[in-house]
Amino acid sequence: MSDELHVDEAELQAYADGRLPSQRRVAVEAWLAARPEEAERIAAYRRLGQEVRAAYEAMLSDPVPERLARAAARVPLRRIAAVVAWLALGALLGAVGGWNLRPERPLAQAPDTTLIARRAAIAHATYSPEVRHPVEVGADDEQHLVNWLSKRLGVKVRAPKLDEAGMALVGGRLLPGDNGPVAQFMYQTQNGRRLTLYVRTEAARNRETAFRYARESNVGVFYWIDRDVGYALASADLNREELLRLANLVYKKLEP
Amino acid sequence: MEEGKRLVELIPRLRRYARALVGDRATADDLVQDTLERAWAKLHLYRRGTDLRAWLFTVMHNVHVNRVRSTRATDVLDEEMPELAQRATQTDALLMRDLDRSIARLPADQRAVLLLVTLEDMSYEEVARTLGIPIGTVMSRLSRARDKLRAMLLGQAAPKLKVVK
């Protein structure tokens, strides 16, 4: 019975940080299951953690000002350039390859989660203006499209039905990605406003994430990771609220 | 000189924490610079083989407390929000600004605990040692910081973020 359990605030905090030993974790989960308000509060703390990490993540790859490199290295000025260059390279590799400058403690946030937004935006900007060849395989052959893309990505991909939001599937295509093939589905409204869904497999270390929003020039992107698949929904024709509504719809439709 | 190289490597993490702690980049970099200089002056106190990062954050905490004490009059938050690092503009700038602003509004003691746990992923024991406070205090400050932050963000009625399971 839940009476036997005693869960204090410190344990709830440790639970939110994912730091409880498994036995206590099970106990806390049971305790929370009977208390929806508390469960929501702790879930909110977890989300906050993700958001705080995301908010300051960019500082890790920000070029180190020379005065700091100098203060740390206590080296004469002429050698500073090399130190700064080395740090900048680290930051660049960190940004591009997911290689981290300080690998002794894995970052809770995988460094390349924002990359999916950029890739999706570029793919959107490339193909959505196409009049004659927006997709490789059209919606009239949807089953083949989905089978083909699933086979190439190595996971089951689906083209969610978005008709209720006025978005009809145009079709899809295969794209090269950072870690293998990527799928892109294209949708459009009756008056030709377009939306693309970018789907790629994610390394296992990437956690599930909340919806995040990014903007690359005129393309807005909502992106999220669900287990081992990353999704990015991009459009240059929809505003943020419209895009968020569609992201919610896509997420709902993709739920097993 | 091993430590010198490690100090250089730790700069980005010191800057990230300092930026979140003090609210703007210029002040954060001043704090990091003071910390590095102080670290060199006190390096003989650092015991080799122990965690240099934890030691450095302790130095930073002490420097910060002294700086705040000596500049109390100016330790008032700007009404204008400072900019985040450039790459941050690619992600949700609005959400981040709200978050940054809300974090800045937390009491300084609570903010430090929250950031060391969240950004640095320090254990509660490490946080207690770094800040020189009992672990019970770490836990209560963490709890209060989260509670306040959540309330502030809810109050702003920002666009609802749905969380993927």
Q: Where are the domains of chain B?
A: 1-79, 91-157
CATH of span B1-79: 1.10.1740.10
Mean of the per-residue pLDDT values for chain A? 81
Lowest mean pLDDT across A49-63, A88-102, B63-77 = A88-102
> Is residue A47 within 8 Å of B146, Cβ to Cβ?
no
Please say if the pLDDT value at position A13 is more than 90: yes
Which run of H or of E encompasses A234? strand A229-235
Cα Rg of chain A (Å, integer): 22
Mean of the per-residue pLDDT values for chain B? 80
Taking contacts as CB-CB distances below 8 angstroms, the residues of chain B near A51 are 95, 99, 161
SS3 label, residue A66: helix
Of A207-211, B103-107, B139-143, the range with the highest mean pLDDT is B139-143
Q: CB of A38 within 8 Å of any CB in chain B?
A: no
What's the average model confidence in pLDDT over B6-10? 85
| A227-240: pLDDT as tens digits | 789 999 999 989 88
- Domain B91-157 CATH class label: mainly alpha
> Is residue A203 within 8 Å of A110, Cβ to Cβ?
yes
Query: What sign does the dihedral B122-B126-B132-B136 (CA atoms) show?
Result: positive
Q: pLDDT at position A12, please?
A: 95
| B83-134: pLDDT as tens digits | 333 334 444 566 677 888 899 999 999 999 999 999 999 999 999 999 999 9
Query: What's the rounded Cα separation, in Å, for the pair A128 and B93?
Result: 25
> Percentage of chain B with pLDDT > 90?
48
Smallest CA-to-CA distance from A60 within A18, A17, A19, A110 is with: A110
* Separation of CA B21 from chain center: 4
- A-B C-beta contacts closer than 8 Å: 161
Query: What's the rounded Cα separation, in Å, for the pair A19 and A100?
Result: 23
Reading across the β-sheet that carries A137-138, which strands appear in turn? A137-138, A168-177, A180-188, A194-201, A229-235, A219-226, A212-216
| pTM of the full structure | 0.53
* All structural domains of chain A: 2-56 (no CATH), 62-97 (no CATH), 113-254 (3.30.200.100)
Q: CB of B149 within 8 Å of any CB in chain A?
A: yes
Q: pLDDT at position A103, please?
A: 33
Which run of H or of E encompasses A137? strand A137-138
- Mark yes or no for CB contact A71/B119 under 8 Å: no
Q: pLDDT at position B1, please?
A: 53
- Mark yes or no for CB contact A216/B90 under 8 Å: yes
Smallest CA-to-CA distance from A254 within B165, B20, B145 is with: B165
